[in-house]
Structure 1
Amino acid sequence: MTRLALLLASAIALSGCQTLPSGTSSAPATSPVLATADAADPHSFARPLEARVTHVDLDLRFDFAARAVAGTATLDIDRRPTAREIILDSDGYQVSAVTDAATGAPLAFAFGAAQNAIGRPLTIQLAPGTRKIRIAYTARDAAALQWLTPEQTAGKRQPFLFSQGQAILNRSWIPTQDSPGIRQTWAARITVPMGLTAVMSGLKSDEIIVSTGGTQTFDFRMDKPVAPYLIAIAIGDLKFQSLGARTGVWAEPATLPAAARELEDTEKMVETAERLFGPYRWGRYDMIVLPPSFPFGGMENPTLTFLTPTFIAGDKSLVSLIAHELAHSWSGNLATNATWADFWLNEGTTTYATSRVVEAIYGKRVADQQIALGIDSLNGELKNLPTADTRLAIDLRGRSPDDGLTDIAYEKGAAFLRMIESNVGRDRFDPFLRKWFDEHAFQPVTSAQFLAAVRRDLVRGDAALEQLLQLDRWVYEPGLPANAVPADAQAFAEVDAAVAAHAGGTLPTAAWARWTTDERLRFLNRLPRKQGRARLDALDRAFGLDGVGNMEVKFAWLSLAVANRYDPAVPSLEAFLAAQGRRKFVRPLYLALNKDQSWGRPIAQRTYPRARSLYHPLVSGELDKLFGR
């Protein structure tokens, strides 16, 4: 059997389930085993149909001085009777011993050769009766973990650590099979220096063990099988504030009041999402606002969404980010892409779901405007990406899975679902989507499965509807099909008129004051990229763009400034790049600066070394290549 045929995927497939033979320990009922070529994960060394991890139990100590994690990982294994080894993923951690957890007998192990972008395999020999193994290991400077000094935090008193596991970074600090198709339950005992609080993407025990050696220990558990990239941790000077019966927010004390005010609609969002998509199955929905070096807007870690502080605008104008991360509790966490080639099943479905939550709470006009902004981003991506990368089901073999982190997955995926909804109606599409989540709860899924479900539950043999939807064209071919639903032409009618008027020298000064963030973004992003110095001076004077506190608006302004070599914005640009590490912001600005060899590159070259320590390894790893580090 080839490696491509050895794969765990999901519950329902066109070819039927292939389960482990009788006489073995059984896989969890929620994660049946399936072998299909489209679910083969080229970014994992695991062979889950021979031996697979079903549960991870961590006992770890975090050493901030050494920037190291040390301890044990105890893995429950499901295996064929003939299996003589299990293969895990690794990328940097060092193993000192592996034993049979039941008998204590040592097990032979060896690391294989490293492969580009995915690390190297860790092969462990299994005794005939081995069902649980214990790995003693250390991870130093793991790519998933960012260690911050007190000076890099809001409070300036204590160090901070957080993880970012998506897509395949958790293999740098957790020995397991790091594939989204191999779902695992987990537990963790985490020991940290006194004065620091640990939180994780699982339910936290009320008991804290305080030692005489200046440490304290926290216990966590996740009793639902999750993709390994969703195991997440943060450690720092953290306080908690309740937002509702099952929602709350963690943050540094200096950040907590503003974060709680911005997030006060969260409980309402959970209730709205449940009405749309079915019951919330994770117990609590808490959030943590991290230091500004966090590389994404948010990360949907179960029970504890990780958030950038850049969403705090003071007026809730950026809280659609929360709706997005919450929606992942159904699309992404509940039903998860089996491989990163089908990343759109996570992000496209979530982007669609976000607009539904926003519409229900804030109104159709707000949702339509955000959809229009998304279509603008998609059109830009379609122009800039290689044609092959504009497919929803993207070929990532031999490449980093992060190459699929584009607006194709988010916005083309959402446009695909909007197209289906517009043709079958919400009265049919909403029950379909809810059924999709119910049938695939806690399971990995593929594009082929989604298309099969659409054909089974919506098309139902209707040849005319099949032709109208162009399902395969959307998923497997590049570009945007002609049946995409256009943006509402009236969503930004006033703003677009102001853009046209600006060409004649008229500024929408009065309108700007009452415009929403989305309207301001539309205006700035729709302006021609070539602007004269006088025009930019006038924009800045009229709207105070150089000093604006809304980070999305600031980014739009700085992008325009860089495109025009606008010197007065350079101090603001350098401060922006050195104050936060959100990939969405810093990466395109550095790329734009780097393309301008005479004006922009010198700015980038003096700014990047000063700012680099703030950036997560996921971001600095990309930018290091840009600057030849």
Structure 2
Amino acid sequence: MRLLALTALCLTAAACTTNGPDHADRMISPILVTVEARDDYTFAKPEIARVTHVDLDLELDFRAQSVGGTATLDIAAAPAAEEIILDSNGLQISEITAVDGTHLAYTIGATVEGKGEPITVRIGEARRITIDYKSAPQADALQWLAPEQTAGGEHPFVFSQGQAINNRTWIPTQDSPGIRQTWQARITAPAPLDVVMSGILQGEPIDAGGSRRAFSFEMDKPVAPYLIAIAAGEIDFRALGPRSGVWAEPATLDRAAAELVDTEAMIDAAEELYGEYRWGRYDMIVLPPAFPYGGMENPVMTFLTPTFIAGDRSLTGLVAHELAHSWSGNLVTYASWRDGWLNEGVTSYLENRISEVVFGETRAAQERALSYAGVIEAVEELGTQAPETTLLTPEALDPLNYNSAITYDKGALFLHTVESIVGRERFDPWLRSWFDRHAFEPATSAMFLADMRANLIGDDRALEQRLMLDQWVYGTGIPANVKRPDPQAFATSDAAARAYLADRTLDARAWQGWSAAEQMRFLRSLPEALSAEELALLDRTLSLSTTGNNEIKFLWLEAALRNRYDPAVAQAEAFLSTVGRNKFVEPLFKALVDEGDWGFPIARRIYDRTRPSYHSYTRSKVDQVLKVKD
């Protein structure tokens, strides 16, 4: 039996004091100070003093590639608290004052690699403080793009990526997922650029002088700090429905809007399953290719990679995933990075359920089968006893360096298994009630299992044994009760794969009629070793190098580079020059590096040219592959 906590303290508005004049009625979520809720990646001590609201007044400086201005913080603190500790990573502080103008003493501690440095402010009686600061150039959270790196080629662009702990490079606050905060912002940018944020736009932009415009935003619900996001550039808006729309560069907008026509149907499906969508609007922005992830679930403004645009809506499961975060991750957020599955695994389960409603059981079953195969492959590679295969990341491991097949897919597989045992008629109401009970609060694995035991299992000991909850969350490998996918989900493409293995038979017409999931399944079934003749036949017959589906193109390039297929080198270089999504970039460079004398010089040459165009996250990953030092 695992011990839930050594200490269980709750810091709420009732237990603390705050003198913010306009924010007394805001929701303030609790901080759980427990063994499982402890965040090793913040310097903050939220049980003593915590940030409850952030008010930003910032200027975007594209020439200096920096943001600067003020951040005013509302603080909830224990009566005897004399100081508050904030997170920073390279922030340049000019001064810190109380609301009455009194200068407050502060110290900036030594830098801790991978974490930044603490800012300790002597607040005394102050419960609202203002920090005058600017971000350092090359702040990890911000990607500044020159005009030539955009689709339009005329104006610069900037976007942020705060998760996991990068927002401390541009916002002085307590950068920890359990320290939820409301926020508002006034941002100025040079005309004609538009600014979007992960909050609700307040009115129209106004003239700020000097050919600049000011944009104001508000998020009146407490969110994890990593969810404060910003983007600015030459972007236009297209409505998709009464509460949804998409921003994108003008050259991308038509294709993006066409790909996203199912958005309102997804919102409706999610609400039917998991309750009210509580964020008002659901808008998205399709960013330039340098964005390092598939998507980022920033509230009211999901950030998306352009690589999801396939022309046939086959990759819009990504949108279902980011939308699902509106419940799992944004509404109820893990308190610690060690509970990554509690955001991503639960969200991956919700994504599949939403896809089933909108796109049908066949597509959902195929996506579940792909997910299951990914878990099996990861566990076989890592080992069934490897601590990396647990859902709750053990203390000895870095939770920011996770295996996505475990965090996302094993987490989803856990919930599919529970659902299959208890039945949807019981499981769906329980999961919906979990979101209701813990809305706008941080949570832990222990809380999740305790809630399941109290409100789903009850006193049914036989059911408890069948579910194997602790084995799933705290154990390694895959528990014996796992829900296996429908063996017929890929009957057609699996038969084609067997035929190919037997006599290299390929049917181009059948391939064209398959779903994207079936095509990916077929490509993943190919032998590791393929001759140049076999690769040429595959490409010629299935048009792999010219596909508009980036998931398919990636699998093709990975197989081709793994087999030193010279015609694919130019294709890979073109792909790596226009795509910054780390899911594709890092593995392709690794495929080249793994080929030694043939591949490493190619990788080195391509990376020397493309590295400046990648986000800092992608650069850090590829640097490790090539062992590059700045």
Which residue identity is paired with 2:54? Answer: V
1:512-540 CA-partner distances (Å, limit 9, x unpaired): 02111111111001112111222111101
Provide the rounded CA distance (Å) in 1 between the counterparts of 2:27 and 2:150: 43
Map of 1:134 onto structure 2: 130
Provide the rounded CA distance (Å) in 1 between the counterparts of 2:93 and 2:127: 19
1:144 matched to 2:141: yes
1:111-131 CA-partner distances (Å, limit 9, x unpaired): 11122211111111112x201
Which residue identity is paired with 2:301? Answer: L
Pairs within 5 Å for 1:372-411: 372-385=369-382, 387-395=386-394, 399=398, 401-404=399-402, 406-411=404-409
Question: Equivalent residue of 1:421, what SS?
Answer: helix
Provide the rounded CA distance (Å) in 1 between the counterparts of 2:498 and 2:446: 44
1:339 matched to 2:332: no
RMSD between aligned residues = 1.7
1:441-478 CA-partner distances (Å, limit 9, x unpaired): 11111000000011111211212111111100100111
- Contact 2:58–2:69 (CA under 8 A) maintained in structure 1: yes
Which residue identity is paired with 1:553? Answer: I
Provide the rounded CA distance (Å) in 2 between the counterparts of 1:473 and 1:105: 55
Pairs within 5 Å for 1:256-271: 256-271=253-268
1:558 matched to 2:557: yes
Map of 2:112 onto structure 1: 115
1:213-268 CA-partner distances (Å, limit 9, x unpaired): 11111000000000000000000001101110000000111111111111011011
Question: Equivalent residue of 1:283, what SS?
Answer: coil
Which residue identity is paired with 1:130? Answer: A
Provide the rounded CA distance (Å) in 2 between the counterparts of 1:92 and 1:275: 45
- Contact 1:20–1:49 (CA under 8 A) maintained in structure 2: no
Map of 1:39 onto structure 2: 37
CA change 1:335–1:261 in 2 (3 A) is: same
Which residue identity is paired with 1:371? Answer: R
CA change 1:145–1:530 in 2 (3 A) is: same
Which residue identity is paired with 1:96? Answer: S
Which residue identity is paired with 2:449? Answer: L
Map of 2:592 onto structure 1: 593
CA change 1:200–1:213 in 2 (3 A) is: same
Residue ranges of structure 1 left out of the alignment (5+ in a row): 8-14
Provide the rounded CA distance (Å) in 1 between the counterparts of 2:195 and 2:295: 19
Question: Equivalent residue of 1:189, what SS?
Answer: strand
Which residue identity is paired with 1:404? Answer: Y
Question: Equivalent residue of 1:343, what SS?
Answer: helix
Provide the rounded CA distance (Å) in 2 between the counterparts of 1:259 and 1:519: 24
Question: Equivalent residue of 1:135, what SS?
Answer: strand
Question: Equivalent residue of 2:597, what SS?
Answer: coil
Provide the rounded CA distance (Å) in 2 between the counterparts of 1:23 and 1:235: 37
Provide the rounded CA distance (Å) in 1 between the counterparts of 2:245 and 2:524: 34
Provide the rounded CA distance (Å) in 2 between the counterparts of 1:6 and 1:35: 9
Pairs within 5 Å for 1:17-416: 17=10, 22=15, 24-25=17-18, 29-100=27-98, 102-127=99-124, 129-139=125-135, 140-385=137-382, 387-395=386-394, 399=398, 401-404=399-402, 406-416=404-414
1:574-610 CA-partner distances (Å, limit 9, x unpaired): 1111111001101111122222211221111001111
Pairs within 5 Å for 1:342-491: 342-385=339-382, 387-395=386-394, 399=398, 401-404=399-402, 406-491=404-489
Which residue identity is paired with 1:87? Answer: I
Question: Equivalent residue of 1:165, what SS?
Answer: coil
Map of 2:614 onto structure 1: 615
Map of 1:574 onto structure 2: 573
- Contact 1:238–1:253 (CA under 8 A) maintained in structure 2: yes
- Contact 2:148–2:154 (CA under 8 A) maintained in structure 1: yes
Provide the rounded CA distance (Å) in 2 between the counterparts of 1:345 and 1:220: 29
Question: Equivalent residue of 1:53, what SS?
Answer: strand
**C-alpha deviation, 1:19, in angstroms:** 5.1
- Contact 1:20–1:33 (CA under 8 A) maintained in structure 2: no
- Contact 2:31–2:178 (CA under 8 A) maintained in structure 1: no
Question: Equivalent residue of 1:404, what SS?
Answer: coil
- Contact 1:60–1:71 (CA under 8 A) maintained in structure 2: yes
Provide the rounded CA distance (Å) in 1 between the counterparts of 2:185 and 2:44: 22
Question: Equivalent residue of 2:321, what SS?
Answer: helix
Which residue identity is paired with 1:612? Answer: R
CA change 1:6–1:193 in 2 (3 A) is: farther
Question: Equivalent residue of 2:203, what SS?
Answer: strand
Question: Equivalent residue of 2:54, what SS?
Answer: strand
Map of 1:603 onto structure 2: 602
Which shifted more, 426-435 or 207-216?
207-216
Provide the rounded CA distance (Å) in 2 between the counterparts of 1:92 and 1:60: 17
Provide the rounded CA distance (Å) in 2 between the counterparts of 1:66 and 1:383: 48
Residue ranges of structure 2 left out of the alignment (5+ in a row): 19-23
- Contact 1:340–1:396 (CA under 8 A) maintained in structure 2: no
Map of 1:10 onto structure 2: none
Question: Equivalent residue of 1:422, what SS?
Answer: helix
Which residue identity is paired with 2:17? Answer: T
1:32-73 CA-partner distances (Å, limit 9, x unpaired): 233211100001110001000000000000110110111010
Provide the rounded CA distance (Å) in 1 between the counterparts of 2:209 and 2:380: 61
Map of 1:12 onto structure 2: none
- Contact 2:16–2:76 (CA under 8 A) maintained in structure 1: no
State the percentage of identical aligned residues.
54
State the TM-score, normalizing by the size of structure 2: 0.95
Provide the rounded CA distance (Å) in 2 between the counterparts of 1:198 and 1:349: 31
Provide the rounded CA distance (Å) in 2 between the counterparts of 1:427 and 1:555: 39
**C-alpha deviation, 1:397, in angstroms:** 5.9
**C-alpha deviation, 1:141, in angstroms:** 1.7
1:124-164 CA-partner distances (Å, limit 9, x unpaired): 1112x201010011112210000001110111111000000
Question: Equivalent residue of 2:205, what SS?
Answer: strand
CA change 1:98–1:405 in 2 (3 A) is: farther
Question: Equivalent residue of 2:241, what SS?
Answer: coil
1:498 matched to 2:493: no
Map of 2:21 onto structure 1: none
1:282-335 CA-partner distances (Å, limit 9, x unpaired): 000000000011111110000000000111111111111111110000000000
- Contact 1:6–1:48 (CA under 8 A) maintained in structure 2: no
Which shifted more, 388-397 or 38-47?
388-397
CA change 1:23–1:281 in 2 (3 A) is: closer
Provide the rounded CA distance (Å) in 1 between the counterparts of 2:168 and 2:63: 22
1:407-435 CA-partner distances (Å, limit 9, x unpaired): 21100000000010000000000000000
- Contact 1:30–1:441 (CA under 8 A) maintained in structure 2: no
Which residue identity is paired with 1:482? Answer: A
**C-alpha deviation, 1:29, in angstroms:** 4.7
**C-alpha deviation, 1:110, in angstroms:** 1.1
- Contact 1:27–1:54 (CA under 8 A) maintained in structure 2: no
Provide the rounded CA distance (Å) in 2 between the counterparts of 1:290 and 1:23: 41
Provide the rounded CA distance (Å) in 2 between the counterparts of 1:90 and 1:212: 31
CA change 1:19–1:149 in 2 (3 A) is: closer
1:58-95 CA-partner distances (Å, limit 9, x unpaired): 00001101101110100000111211110011111110
